[in-house]
Amino acid sequence: MHSAIYYNSKLRALSNAKIAQKKQKEIKGIRGVRGISNQDLIALINEEVWPSLPEDSDTLHMLYGTAHEDGLLAIALLAVAALESPNEALQLVERWLPFLDNTETADFIGHLIIGPSAFALQESITDRITEQENPYAIRAELNSCLAAFPTPAKGVCVAGLRKKFAVDDVIFVEEPHLDWVHEAVSCTMRMEHPLIKKALRNIIYCWASWKPDDVEEFFTSNYPNWPNWMKDAWKKGRKKSKRRGL
C-alpha cells in the first residue's frame, strides 16, 4: 500500500471546510474530521494499492489514528486484506477497539472486518463480546452479526471490496449463520446502553428479514418478556421476509 505520508497529503488536499462543518455535527470523536466527500474517499480507496498483512499493519494503524476519514480509509483497505489474513486483521482491530468513539467506525469494523475474520477463524463471539468494556467496541462486536446474513454491506468502506472483487454487492455468506447470531444476541439482549440497543434493533430486523420464525423461537425460549422495541424490529423484519417470499 502507499505510505501514510502519501495518504495524509492526498486527504489534506481533498479536505472541504463546508463538509467538515456538517460532519462535525455527526462525528464527535477525538480524532476530528477533515471534511471529505464520500465520492473523493471512494476514489482514493479505489486506487487499488491494497495492503498486505502484517507488513502494512503499522501504516494502517497510523492512518487509522489520524482523523475520522483517514480511519474510514484504513478500514476499507483492511477489509480487503482481512480476507487473506484474518488473524492479523483482528490483531490490528483489537488495537483500535478500546478507543472507538463513534458508531460509523464501529459499525464498519464489526461488519467488514470482525465478522468475516472471526467466522474464518471460528472464534467465539461470546468471548469477544465479554472481553470488551467500551460500549462502542461491544457495538462493533455485535455488528459482526451483519456479516452472518446474506444482506449486502453498505457504505463508503465497502468500496474496496467491491473494487477488488469486481462486484456490485458484497455478501459474506450464502445462508444465515444463526449460531453466531444467537450467541451475540444472548450476550447483549439485556444491555441497556443506547448504542448497543440501537445496534441490536438493527440486528433483530435483519435477522427477522431472513428467519422470522427463528427470531420468535429464540426470544420465546431465552427472553419470554422481550420488550416491545425488539418485537417492533422483529415485526418489521418479518414484513420484509414476506415480501421476499420466505
Residue 191 has pLDDT above 90, yes or no: yes
Q: What whole-number distance in Å separates Cα of residue 44 and Cα of residue 31?
A: 20
% the chain with pLDDT above 90 = 91
Residue 122: DSSP 8-state: T
Distance CA 233, CA 246 (A): 17
What are the pLDDT digits (tens) for 33-90?
999 999 999 999 999 889 999 999 999 999 999 999 999 999 999 999 999 999 999 9
* pLDDT per residue as tens digits for the range 211-246: 999 999 999 999 999 999 999 999 999 999 988 776
Confidence of residue 21 (pLDDT cuts 50, 70, 90): confident
Q: Is 103 exposed, middle or buried, given 0-12, 13-18 or 19+ CB atoms closer than 10 A?
A: middle
**CA dihedral of 158, 161, 167, 168, whole degrees rounded to 10:** 0
Q: What is the pLDDT of residue 29?
A: 75
Q: What is the pTM of this model?
A: 0.94
DSSP 8-state symbol, 3? -
Q: In a 3-state reduction of DSSP, which class is residue 70?
A: helix
